[in-house]
């Protein structure tokens, strides 16, 4: 007999002895009726007390815990609980435009609105019209939802939750963008920093977030915004993106930052506690089922980069990137002094481009180059690599690929040469 079987039988014998002794003790006890006592006077029943309201579900998002999840589990790891915590909202159609001359002084706040855009001519729920004096304050949306009317037919004309020109400091707090059919949840041309906190983006047709600083004319368009006058700071925190770029007009990265800084005023971007997950219900004709999570890049409509990188820092912390059959890199970062990716999880499912790509050159990099990439305690599944592209030689870029998977370690990569400088235990 094996040891564990002997131990189990011995435990059974001890339990049987215990029960036998307990029965013997109970049988030996004498029972007597208690002495009668005068009844206490009957107090009136108290008024019923309303129960305390129960808080909606809460959650704690930790990207590394998502590594063993299915993609369907990762789609709901945070978004439903976050939406369940929203405060009440007033139902409206379109939120309405901010026209020239409307915003004359102080900060501008819109809050506690649920916009269901009707079928018709509305291409957006709100538009910050273009005018070029400096704005008098901060523009904030708080606890706002935007979606199209679904019955009797989807409002297919809807392009953007909001389209904004020449925005100063722009804040989106506790906002939800759902089923925007054609393009983006928010599309903002900004000349100061941006803040997106505790927001969700579900099935936005092209992108969830697009911040596009364009201070010069481009294509057939005039400039969209004033130049930066100080180093901008951008944050994307506690935000969750699920199945975006699905059936839209211009499907692209879930979160796009065009010129989040310039060589004159280099910017900083923090992306923290966010999830980017996509496995569309239906594949495209080319078989693809997702795009990518994040892009930070120089683009047209801005001064050429020269000598100083566009960004001082891009910091990705406690983030999940989970993409199935993607049509591009999972993230693409260009012209950054320092990139830090820590405590984050990257899952590439049946993916032909399982990369975090650094400095892919479309002829817009000038003489700038990312300097250093730091990976700290990250999980990469499906062969995810940091793909460092070197400066062009004869019109071609050579790439150096380094495994992103580094649990419990810090890996430091030279952004100019693509070589690993240091690998140490944390």
For 63-116, how does the pLDDT look when each residue is reduced to its tens digit (9 = 90+)? 999 999 999 999 999 999 999 999 999 999 999 999 999 999 999 999 999 999
Per-residue pLDDT tens digits for 211-269: 999 999 999 999 999 999 999 999 999 999 999 999 999 999 999 999 999 999 999 99
CA distance 242 to 68: 18
3-state helix, strand, coil split of the chain in percent (to 5) is: 10, 35, 55
Looking from the CA of 203 toward its CB, the CA atoms found within 13 Å total: 9
CA atoms within 13 A on the CB side of 361: 19
- The per-residue pLDDT of the chain, averaged, comes to 89
Q: How confident is the model at residue 8 (pLDDT cuts 50, 70, 90)?
A: very low
Between 56 and 144, residue with greater pLDDT? 144
For residue 112 the two structure tokens come to: 């506690």
In whole angstroms, what is the distance from residue 366 CA to residue 415 CA? 16
Domain boundaries, the chain: 63-380
> What pLDDT score does 59 carry?
65
Q: What is the pLDDT of residue 3?
A: 47
Q: Please give the pLDDT value at position 412.
A: 98
Task: Kindly indicate the confidence band of residue 31, based on its pLDDT and cuts at 50, 70 and 90.
Answer: very low
Beta strands in 149-304 (DSSP E): 160-167, 170-173, 176-178, 184-190, 194-197, 200-202, 207-212, 233-237, 240-242, 255-258, 267-272, 275-278, 294-297
pTM: 0.86
Give the CA count within 13 Å in the CB-facing half-sphere of 285: 0
Give residue-wise pLDDT tens across range 104-120.
999 999 999 999 999 99
Confidence of residue 396 (pLDDT cuts 50, 70, 90): confident
How many CA atoms lie less than 13 Å away from 122 in the CB half-sphere? 25
């Amino acid at each position: 007999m094996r040891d564990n079987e002997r131990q189990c039988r011995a435990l059974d014998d001890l339990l049987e002895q215990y029960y036998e002794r307990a029965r013997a003790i109970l049988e030996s006890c004498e029972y007597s009726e208690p002495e009668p006592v005068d009844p206490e006077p009957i107090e009136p029943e108290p008024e019923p007390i309303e129960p305390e309201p129960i808080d909606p579900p809460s959650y704690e998002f930790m990207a590394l815990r998502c590594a063993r999840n299915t993609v369907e589990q990762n789609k709901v790891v945070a978004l439903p609980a976050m939406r369940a915590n929203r405060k009440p909202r007033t139902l409206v159609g379109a939120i309405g435009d901010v026209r020239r001359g409307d915003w004359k002084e102080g900060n501008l706040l819109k809050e506690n609105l649920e916009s269901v855009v009707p079928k018709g001519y509305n291409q957006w729920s709100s538009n910050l019209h273009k005018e070029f004096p400096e704005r008098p304050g901060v523009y904030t949306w708080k606890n706002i939802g935007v979606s199209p009317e679904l019955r009797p037919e989807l409002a297919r004309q809807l392009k953007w939750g909001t389209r904004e020109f020449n925005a100063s400091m722009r804040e989106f707090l506790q906002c939800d963008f759902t089923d925007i059919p054609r393009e983006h949840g928010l599309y903002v041309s900004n000349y100061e920093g941006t803040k997106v906190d505790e927001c969700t983006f579900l099935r936005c047709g092209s992108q969830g977030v697009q911040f596009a600083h364009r201070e010069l004319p481009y294509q057939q368009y005039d400039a969209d915004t004033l130049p930066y006058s100080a180093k901008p700071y951008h944050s994307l925190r506690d935000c969750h993106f699920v199945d975006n770029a699905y059936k839209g007009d211009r499907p692209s990265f879930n979160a796009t930052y065009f010129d989040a800084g310039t060589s004159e005023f280099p910017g900083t971007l923090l992306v923290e506690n966010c999830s980017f997950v996509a496995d569309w219900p239906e594949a495209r004709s080319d078989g693809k089922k997702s795009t990518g999570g994040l892009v930070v890049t120089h683009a047209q409509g801005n001064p050429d980069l020269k000598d100083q990188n566009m960004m001082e820092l891009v910091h990705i912390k406690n983030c999940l990137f989970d993409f199935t059959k993607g049509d591009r890199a999972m993230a693409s970062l260009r012209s950054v002094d320092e990139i830090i990716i820590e405590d984050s999880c990257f899952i590439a499912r049946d993916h032909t481009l399982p990369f975090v790509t650094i400095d892919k050159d479309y002829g817009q990099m000038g003489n700038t180059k990312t300097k250093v990439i730091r990976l700290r305690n990250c999980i990469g599944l499906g062969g995810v690599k940091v793909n460092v592209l070197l400066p062009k030689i004869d019109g071609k870029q050579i790439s150096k690929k380094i495994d992103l998977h580094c649990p419990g370690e810090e890996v430091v990569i030279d952004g100019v040469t693509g070589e690993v400088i240091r690998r140490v235990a944390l």
